Amino acid sequence: MKTRGIVAGIITGVFVILQFIPATPKNIREDNSFNFTTHFLPPENINSLLKTFCFDCHSNYTEYPWYTTIQPIEYMMSAHITEGKERLNFDELTTYRKRKKLTKFNSVIQVLEDGSMPLTSYSLMHGSLSKDERDELISYFNELIIKEEKL
């Protein structure tokens, strides 16, 4: 019984100490001229879906929920969001060459079609896309592919 108390005390102490670890930089707000919304001018319904379901992990404008101020949650979420931005950052997408941009658009369509995005862990906290919303986004990105191929 005494050992349990010591272990619980150590775990609590570590948790408290973790709160003093400084948070990682949150958002890199750079030149807005490269912003996806500014460049591609998506319709309001599409922009709203992107903001709600994509931009938190895939743009430089992440809106962090209150619980990300708690360690180790902040560390885990920051690592996850960093990985998401490395795979696709909508704010950098506009700077890509045509071929890479088309590849990214096709990737977005793929993850929407197979349901792997948004992640289940994100959907549990923020809601999920309906079938109609998924279809709207897929249609929009298909339209972007057609426009980009013509350029």
Domain extent listing, the chain: 23-150
Distance (Å, rounded) from C-alpha 75 to C-alpha 47?
Answer: 28
Task: Count other C-beta atoms under 10 Å from residue 48's C-beta.
Answer: 12
Distance (Å, rounded) from C-alpha 89 to C-alpha 16?
Answer: 34
pLDDT digits (tens, 9 = 90+) for 29-87: 555 556 888 889 999 999 999 999 998 889 888 887 777 777 777 877 888 888 989 99
pLDDT digits (tens, 9 = 90+) for 12-23: 766 666 566 666
Distance (Å, rounded) from C-alpha 91 to C-alpha 30?
Answer: 9
pLDDT digits (tens, 9 = 90+) for 126-137: 788 999 999 999
Instruction: Tokens for 103, please give them.
Output: 């590849």
Helix boundaries (H) for 2-93: 2-18, 36-40, 44-53, 55-58, 73-87, 90-93
**What does the pLDDT read at residue 61?**
81
